[in-house]
Structure formats: C-alpha cells, structure tokens
A = this chain, B = another copy of it.
Amino acid sequence: MEETIKDLQASGDVLFLMLGAVMVFAMHAGFAFLEVGSVRKKNQVNGLCKIICDWGISTIVYFLVGFPIAYGISFLKPASGLLGVSQGFELVHFFFLLAFAACIPAIISGGIAERAKFWPQALAGGIFVGFVYPFFESLVWGKNLLLGQEGSWLAGLTGGIPFHDYAGSVVVHSIGGWLALPAIIILGPRIGRYKGEKSTWIKVSSLPFLALGSWILTVGWFGFNVMSAQSLTGISGLVAINSLMAMVGGIIAALVVSKNDAAFIHNGALAGLIAICAGSDVVHPLGALAIGACGAVIFVFGFEVETEKYRIDDVLGVWPLHGIVGSF
C-alpha cells in the first residue's frame, strides 16, 4: 500500500509538471500571434516561422548544452536509464524549464520584429538559450550557489536571505527584455517609422490576432506561475490568485492610463503578470493587484518615452514590458 502512495505521488508530480510544461509551451503560440497581430501584414508569416523555428533550435541547444550547464544533469545515456525511478520526472522538468528558456528568443523576437534576418537571429537565439541564459539560471535556481539558493553566496551575505524569484520575473523576463534592447538599437528603426522630426505610428495589422496572442499567454501563464511549485504537493492557491489579481490590475490600469486603447489593454494584462512572477507566492492578492497595476502603468509610459523620446522602434514594446517591468 505504501508503494501505491509513492506511485501516486511520483505520477502526480510528473503530471503536474507536464501540464505546466504544455501550458508554457502553448504560450509560445501566444508569442507568435501577439507578433502576427502587431507587425505589418507582409511580415506576419515571417513572424510565425521565427517563433516556431526558435522553439525548435532552443529545444536542441538546451537539451544538449543549456540544461547540463544550469543543473549538471545530462541526458546522454540509454533510454532505459532515463526513466529512472521517478517515471521520467527529470525529463519533464527539462521540458518545463526549456519552455521558460525558449521565452528568451521569443521575447527578443518581438522587439526586433520586421527587421532581423532569419538565420542570424536563429543563431543568436541558440547562443542565448544554450549559454547565456543557463548561466544566469544556474546562479539563481541551479547548481552555482551564488544568488537564489539557500546556502548561496548572497544568502551568506544577507544572513540567510537568498534572492527570491519564484517564477522568473528576473531570470526570464528581465534577461529577455534587456538582451532585446541593444539588438533593437543596433538594428535601428523600421524604414518609414521616423522621418526627420516626424514620428509615424505604424498601425497594428490585426487586433484580433494580437488579442488572441494575449489570451493564449494569459491562460498559459497560470502554468508558468502555479507549476513553478514543481511538485504537486507544493501547489499554492495563493500563487494562482495573485497571478489573477496582477493580471486584472494590469488590465484596469492600462485601460485607464491609455484611455481605452485596445493594444495597450491586452498588453497590460501581460505587464501585470510579468510584474508579479517573482513575488506571486508571498504577497496578498490586493498587493498583487497594485503590483500589476504599477507594471502596466510603467509599461504604457515606458513605451511612449522609449518610442517617442528616445526613438527606439520596439515593435512589441518588449523592453518596457519585460525589461523594466520584470526588474521592478
């Protein structure tokens, strides 16, 4: 009977993390449609190819290089040994973390949309997922005891308080957003975006597709945040509600601040969710509401300052969205 319980627990954990992985994988469809809706019509197909191919390259690179760097676990052994005693929990764990890692090129892709050549971007994405991101990841969640772990260097420094990032506000979104910024600046604005003094707003091509992307992302986000518990018995209803409240804070704040602009409202939900990732397991739901609202306000004003004052043509607003909001 004891064995039945262990079996149930192990299977429950695998199912739990698998559902999370699939939900975060589905978020990549959200990235794709957010970009499809935001870019000009002629670049829609291009955006779709980029996202799905980046996913493919990320998987291979993270499987072979990134995951071993971050956690010291390699899968280059016979298939029978991979399942182990835990019904392949490590494999599903890889899938879950891969879905996080692959967000990096997807986030950057949104920033440099309509300008980057396919192969250089794919190559850069591969390097980020294979080397740069796993290095940061290992510092916070992984095997290099520096920032995030109990007993890490930072925890020693602060008397036992490690760096707290429950679902990757910093690890995923900040890194993605800040990596995107130089890329956007180097590539320069899209042709026709700024003419002399004049700043010409390029309309989104399809708000329904943009909204579809946003909806897919918000739904998948519950997998991103809730399943960050990484085991069934670690599940917390508070994380789910805080994600919900932050999203709502983002929606309402964006509605008010942007004066009812549909694109900002749908991105505001995402800004709220990004802002809450790190603290979603500790704050009160009303705190989450406020954090989400702040995230969206920062996003809306940040986007305007960035694109008008500094004239950085960030198509999907990824630097203010992921970079600033994630750091905050």
Contacts and interface: CB of A to CB of B under 8 A. Distances in A.
A159 interface: no
A59 B14 CA distance: 31
Contacts of A14: 235-237
A87 B48 contact: no
Given A49-B265, A211-B32, A211-B48, A232 B55 contact: no
A186 B145 CA distance: 66
Contacts of A36: 208, 211
User: What number of copies of this chain does the assembly contain?
Assistant: 3
**Interface of A, helix, strand, loop or mixed by DSSP:** helix
A128 interface: no
A89 interface: yes
Contacts of A240: 18, 21, 88, 91-92, 95
Given A8-B5, A18-B240, A94-B241, A266 B89 contact: no
Contacts of A89: 237
Interface in A223-256: 226, 232-241, 244-245, 248, 251-252, 255
Which of A18, A21, A260 is most buried by chain B, counting CB atoms within 10 A of its CB? Answer: A18
A208 B82 contact: no
Interface stretch (A150-158, A164-172, A278-286, A300-308): A278-286
Contacts of A4: 5, 9
A314 to B, nearest CB: 22
23 contacts: A14-B236, A18-B240, A22-B222, A25-B218, A25-B222, A45-B207, A48-B208, A49-B260, A53-B252, A56-B248, A59-B245, A60-B248, A76-B286, A78-B284, A79-B282, A83-B238, A86-B237, A87-B235, A88-B238, A91-B237, A94-B241, A95-B237, A95-B240
Complex A-B, nearest 6 residue pairs according to Cβ-Cβ distance, in ascending order: A88-B237, A91-B237, A29-B215, A56-B251, A79-B284, A92-B237
Given A12-B232, A83-B236, 5 more contacts: A1-B2, A7-B233, A8-B9, A22-B219, A86-B237
